[in-house]
C-alpha cells in the first residue's frame, strides 16, 4: 500500500494540514531504486520518507493519525479518530489518497460532525465521500488525481462504503507500543530467528547466539557470554541485564522482518533508535530501504542529523515544525533543487525552520544567580 496525499483538520493536533508524496521527475541512478508503482513507471511516489523535526512537531502524531485512518477504513474502528479530535464542538475532517496492492487508487474524505449534546459519536456523525480509479500502465499520479476530482461522490454509510478496500496492509511501531512478536515467532521459516540474532548480536557483541526455545512456546533464548536471557512473548525476562538499545533491537528485528518478508506494504517506524548509535541506525535503515519492493512505502522518524548524510534524494526528507499557526510540513526538495545541494548545511542553517527556539532557556539562565 502507498499513501499519496493526506489532509487533516481539527484532528490529532493538526489544523488545515496537507502533505503530498508524489514527485515530478524520476531521479537518475537513485539509490532507492524505482519509485513507482509496479508496471506503472510514470506513476511516481516517494518510497522512503524520513521525517525529521524538533520535539512535539508531530512526527509521532502523524503516524498515529495515519494508523487511526487505516483502522477506520479497514476495520470500521472510529474510536482512535474521535478520541483525538482537538475541538469536539467543531467538525473534524480528513482526506487521504492511497493505492492498494492491486494498483487501485482511492480517495477517501470524511467529515466528522460534533455529537449532539456532548453524547458519543454515532455513524450519522460521519459523512464519507469516495472515488477510485484503476491505475493503468501509462498513467501518472496527476492524471489519476484529476479523475478522482471529478468522480468524488457521497459514499453513504461508511460501514458499506469501505468494503471495496480489501488490499490494505500496514505495520506501525511506536515507542512503548506492543509488538507483533508472537506472529513472527510462529513463522514457518527462520527469517525472523536469523534477523533477531543478527540485530541483537550487532547491538551487543557479547551475545553469542539467539535460539528459539524448544521448551517454552513463543520464546527465544539469548545466549550471552556470562548468562542466558529469555524473551517470552516479546518481553525480556531480567531485562536489567541488557542495555536499553539491545532491548529496542527486538522490535527493530520484528519490523525489519516484516519488510524483508513483504508482510504488509506500508511501514511506519517511529523513534526506535533513541538508544542506538547513529551509524547503526543508518545501517539498519539502509537495510530496510534495500528490501522495499515496488508498491511498498517506508516512513521513518528520527532525530539523528547523521541521517542527512545518507545517499538519498532530497525529496525523501520531510521536515515538520510547529508554531503558533499549527503544524506544517515541507520536503527538502522544495528548496534544494540540485542533487549537489548540501542537505546538512541547509538544516544547520535552519532553512526549514526546525531548529529549537532556545530564547526561553536563555531568559532562564539570566534569572539564575
Q: What pLDDT, in 10s, does the model give residues 284-305? A: 999 999 999 999 999 999 999 9
pLDDT at 369: 53
Same domain? For 85 and 6 the reply is yes
31 lies in the same domain as 93: yes
Judged against a pLDDT cut of 90, whether residue 255 lies above it is answered with: yes
Residue 138 lies in a domain: yes
Co-location of 48 and 135 in the same domain: yes
Q: What per-residue confidence (pLDDT) applies to 238?
A: 78
In the predicted model, what is the mean pLDDT of residues 296-319?
Answer: 95
Same domain as 137, residue 25? yes
> Per the domain annotation, does 273 fall within a domain?
no
Same domain, 60 and 122: yes
**Residue 45: all three cell numbers together:** 511516489
Same domain flag for 33 and 116: yes
Q: Are 195 and 165 members of one domain?
A: no
- Among 129-133, 147-151, 278-282, 320-324, the minimum mean pLDDT is found in 320-324
Percent of the chain whose pLDDT exceeds 90 = 61
pLDDT for position 328:
93
Mean predicted confidence (pLDDT) in 114-119? 82
Tell me the average pLDDT across 269-295: 93
Q: Are residues 148 and 80 in the same domain?
A: yes
Pick the most confident of 7-11, 82-86, 178-182.
Answer: 7-11
Alpha helices in the chain (DSSP H): 59-75, 79-82, 141-151, 158-161, 181-185, 191-203, 244-260, 278-290, 343-348, 359-367
Is residue 55 very low, low, confident or very high in pLDDT (cuts 50, 70, 90)? confident
Q: Looking at the structure, tell me whether residues 252 and 310 fall in a common domain.
A: no
What's the CA gap between 236 and 258, in Å, rounded? 21
The domain containing residue 243 runs over which residues? 178-263
Asked whether the beta carbons of 134 and 167 are under 8 A apart, the reply is no
The SS3 assignment for 97 reads strand
On whether both 120 and 193 belong to a single domain, the answer is no
Q: What is the mean pLDDT of the chain?
A: 89
Of 225, 246, 263, the one marking the end of a domain is: 263
Question: What mean pLDDT do residues 268-277 have?
Answer: 90
* Domain identity same for 212 and 113: no
Claim to verify: residue 58 and residue 155 sit in the same structural domain: yes
Question: What is residue 178's predicted lDDT score, i.e. its pLDDT?
Answer: 59
The residue-averaged pLDDT of 301-312 equals 93
Q: Which of 263, 281, 301 is the last residue of a domain?
A: 263
Residue 96 has pLDDT above 80, yes or no: yes
In a domain, 284, yes or no: no
Q: What mean pLDDT is predicted for residues 215-232?
A: 88
Amino acid at each position: 500500500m502507498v499513501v499519496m496525499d493526506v489532509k487533516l483538520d481539527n484532528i490529532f493536533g493538526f489544523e488545515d494540514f496537507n502533505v503530498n508524496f508524489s514527485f515530478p521527475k524520476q531521479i537518475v541512478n537513485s539509490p532507492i531504486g524505482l519509485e513507482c508503482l509496479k508496471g506503472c513507471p510514470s506513476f511516481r511516489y516517494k518510497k522512503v520518507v524520513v521525517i525529521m523535526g524538533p520535539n512535539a512537531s508531530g512526527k509521532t502524531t502523524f503516524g498515529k493519525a495515519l494508523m487511526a485512518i487505516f483502522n477506520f477504513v479497514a476495520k470500521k474502528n472510529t474510536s482512535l479518530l474521535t478520541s483525538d479530535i482537538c475541538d469536539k464542538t467543531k467538525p473534524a475532517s480528513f482526506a487521504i489518497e492511497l493505492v492498494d496492492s492491486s494498483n487501485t487508487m482511492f480517495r477517501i474524505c470524511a467529515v466528522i460532525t460534533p455529537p449532539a449534546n456532548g453524547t458519543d459519536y454515532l455513524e450519522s456523525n460521519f459523512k464519507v465521500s469516495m472515488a477510485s480509479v484503476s491505475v493503468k500502465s501509462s498513467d501518472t499520479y496527476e492524471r489519476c488525481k484529476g479523475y478522482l476530482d471529478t468522480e468524488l461522490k457521497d459514499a453513504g454509510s461508511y460501514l458499506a462504503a469501505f468494503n471495496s478496500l480489501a488490499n490494505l496492509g500496514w505495520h506501525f511501531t511506536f515507542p512503548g507500543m506492543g509488538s507483533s512478536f508472537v506472529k513472527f515467532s510462529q513463522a514457518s521459516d527462520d527469517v525472523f530467528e536469523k534477523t533477531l540474532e543478527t540485530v541483537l548480536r550487532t547491538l551487543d557483541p557479547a551475545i553469542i547466539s539467539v535460539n528459539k526455545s524448544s521448551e517454552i512456546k513463543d520464546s527465544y533464548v539469548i545466549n550471552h557470554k556470562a548468562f542466558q536471557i529469555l524473551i517470552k512473548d516479546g518481553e525480556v525476562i531480567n531485562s536489567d541485564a541488557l542495555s536499553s538499545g539491545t532491548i529496542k533491537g527486538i522490535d527493530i528485528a520484528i519490523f525489519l522482518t516484516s519488510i524483508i518478508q513483504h508482510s504488509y506494504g506500508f511501514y511506519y517506524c517511529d523513534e526506535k533508535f533513541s538508544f542506538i548509535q547513529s551509524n547503526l541506525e543508518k545501517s539498519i535503515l539502509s537495510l530496510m530501504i534495500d528490501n522495499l519492493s515496488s508498491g511498498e512505502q517506508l516512513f521513518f522518524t528520527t532525530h539523528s542529523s547523521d541521517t542527512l548524510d545518507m545517499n538519498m534524494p532530497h525529496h525523501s526528507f520531510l521536515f515538520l515544525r510547529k508554531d503558533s499557526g499549527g503544524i506544517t510540513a515541507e520536503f527538502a526538495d522544495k528548496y534544494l533543487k540540485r542533487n549537489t545541494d548540501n542537505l546538512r548545511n541547509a538544516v544547520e542553517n535552519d532553512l526549514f525552520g526546525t531548529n529549537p527556539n532556545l530564547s526561553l532557556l536563555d531568559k532562564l539562565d539570566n534569572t539564575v544567580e
